[in-house]
Amino acid sequence: MAMGKGSLEEVTELLGKNPLAMRAKDFNGNTPLHVASKHHSRTGVISLLIESYPEALRMKNSNGDTPLHLACILNETAPSYFTCSETQKKDAEEVQLRVVSFLLEKCVDASKDKNNQGETPLFSCLRYHAPLEVVSLLYEKYPEAARINNNIGDTPLHVACKNTSSEIISLVIDKFPEAMKIRNRDGSLPLHLACSNDAYIDVISLLLEKCPETVKAKDGHGSTPLHVACKAGSSLELVSLLIRKCPEVSRMKTLHGDTSLSAACSGQASLEIISLLLETYPEAAMEKNDRGDLPLHISCRLGLKYGCLFKLVTSLIDVYPEGANVKNKSGYTPLHIACLNDLPVGVLKQLLDKCPNSARSKDFVGDTPLSMACWKKISLDRITLLLNAYPGALRQVNDEGDTPLHVACSFEATLDLVSLLLKRWPGAAREVNAKEETPLHIVCNLAPTYCELLEVLSLLLDVYPEAARVRSSNGFTPLRTAYSKDAPLSAVLRLLEKFPGAVRHEHFTGNAPVGIESFKVWKVINDVHHLFSSDFDIENATYILDYFIHLKWWGGTVIVFDINPSIIRTLGVNDKVIPNLLFMVGSHCRILTLWKFLGDRQDLVN
């Protein structure tokens, strides 16, 4: 710390006590001279450190930086540089110039050293906002630095174009004009980088003035400077300048077939830029990229970045209304994509108003926008809008035979969503898909994770009780499916109440599980199975009845009575309670159970 902020006396005293401290390194490999240079310490301190250990001038830290590299960094030594006063800025720049000058005076060859990124100290100056005087000094000491590329192919001009003033850019260009036409490993020219970083407008003007043909140049992705500016959300002034210089560039496409309008819609461009691009080349709204996407598809996919999404979609639809029904290579219309991204109701309504038939469109796997909406569990107001636009979508099945209700259940739909779909078409609960699964099977298959399992399962059974008897293509009833997925006891009891006979035809045997909940499920299923045994006696039935009562599973008592009606006469119920028992049996048990009960109690009939 003394090396960075301490006075000459403090550093001298420290070195006197421990001369070897001069050679010490921190965990980043920095020597005391690195630290002093980074913090732009007094030249007296830096001089003392150099005299004590001259070799440190060319030593590199773990990033390969010499003390000169670190001295060339301005904004790391003054974090408030961009918010301080002009006087404070000037003072910081003067201090940096003194330190850099002193280090170069002591070892001019340090200006040639490269760090691990293949960059000389000049790169550090340009990347970290060093003043013009420091940049000029480095060029003076090592003119060839202008021609050096770093490890990713950037020249000093590439780096300068990201965030430097036009005054410095002009100097860098003068030192090596050919750099304006040099590409880095991504195929980018300095103009590409300037546009992607929303450089100062005078920087862009300077680059176009010095080398106007670069406005049409494409990088390794086939993007022009206009493409990268639109995607990066650069200023309207910058985009306007590029279009004024060469209007035809707005028609050019990337390697993936994207126009500048597509790039703007996929990035963070403002609505004003979108409007300018549409005004310059309105046909771009009709241009598809290699994925088959129109700008409208792209806007619906990434539109939540826009605070003015409604206006954006309006602008694109006004130019090309038919685009609302165009499918991309995945078979998605803009409405499909809007549903996938849960876009606002206004946007969905706008797409449906322009093209009502888009609600009927199916993608490459047969899903309608409603199925997409059920998959993504978008809000009910959006689902309702789609249902009103095309009620028949509820009956449409995809390539797997799934209705929207199947899809909703596959992705753990809320009770409200399932209720809405069943209210519009109760018959959806009866439908089976290609695997001969009803929505009830789907729900049971998600038993371990479905938050509203019991509520949704109960609703499906209430709408279509016979679903409990349906077997899928693998021979499983919903009960068998639920059991195989470790469904909770409450769900298993509900399924047993609707179809206890499922235990007679499927394999539920095996050793008792360890968990308490799993054991209860196992025992209940096995108890119901025993009730159907031909050699089962009243004593065992009574034992099972007591257990069901202990669980407070009254539906289980009904199952016991239905399978063994004769057990009722063994209960020893007081005659005063018989009317209540009779009512319960008559309300919940089969007619045959009630008949046998009355047959055993002729006195009640009389």
Share the mean pLDDT of the chain: 88
CA–CA distance, 362 with 374 (Å, rounded to integer): 14
Q: With 0.95 as the threshold, say if the pTM is over it.
A: no
Work out whether the CA dihedral 102, 106, 111, 113 comes out positive or negative.
Answer: negative
Statement: residue 16 has pLDDT above 70: no
User: What pLDDT does residue 563 have?
Assistant: 78
Q: Do 258 and 227 touch, CB atoms closer than 8 A?
A: yes
pLDDT tens-digit series, residues 476-491: 999 999 998 999 999 9
- CB-based contacts of 333, cutoff 8 Å, min separation 6: 324, 325, 326, 327, 351, 355, 358, 361, 369
pLDDT tens-digit series, residues 267-310: 878 899 999 999 999 999 999 999 999 999 999 988 655 567 88
**Mean pLDDT confidence for 542-556:** 85
Residue 542 tokens, joined: 């009574």
Q: Say which amino acid occupies 114.
A: K
Query: Which is higher by pLDDT, 537 or 521?
Result: 521
CA–CA distance, 174 with 432 (Å, rounded to integer): 75
Radius of gyration of the chain (CA): 39
Q: Say which amino acid occupies 82.
A: F
Statement: residue 202 has pLDDT above 90: yes
CATH architecture type of domain 1-148: Alpha Horseshoe (1.25)
Return the H-helix or E-strand segment holding 553.
none
Number of neighbours of residue 544 by Cβ within 10 angstroms: 24
Render the burial of 474-489: b for 16+ CB within 10 Å, e for the rest: eebbbbbbbbeeebbb
CA–CA distance, 349 with 115 (Å, rounded to integer): 57
In order of 321, 416, 585, the CA distances from 592 in angstroms are 66, 38, 10
Statement: residue 604 has pLDDT above 60: no
User: What pLDDT does residue 467 have?
Assistant: 97
Statement: residue 173 has pLDDT above 90: yes
User: What pLDDT does residue 1 have?
Assistant: 45
Least confident window among 2-16, 221-235, 300-314, 411-425: 2-16
DSSP 23: G
Residue 220 tokens, joined: 């390794």
Nearest to 41 by CA among 14, 68, 16, 8: 8
Nearest to 274 by CA among 286, 262, 283: 262
CA angle in degrees (0–180, nearest 5) for 406-470-565? 135
Statement: residue 589 has pLDDT above 80: no
Query: Which is higher by pLDDT, 567 or 456?
Result: 456
Domain with CATH 1.25.40.20 in the chain: 1-148
Percent of the chain with pLDDT over 90: 65
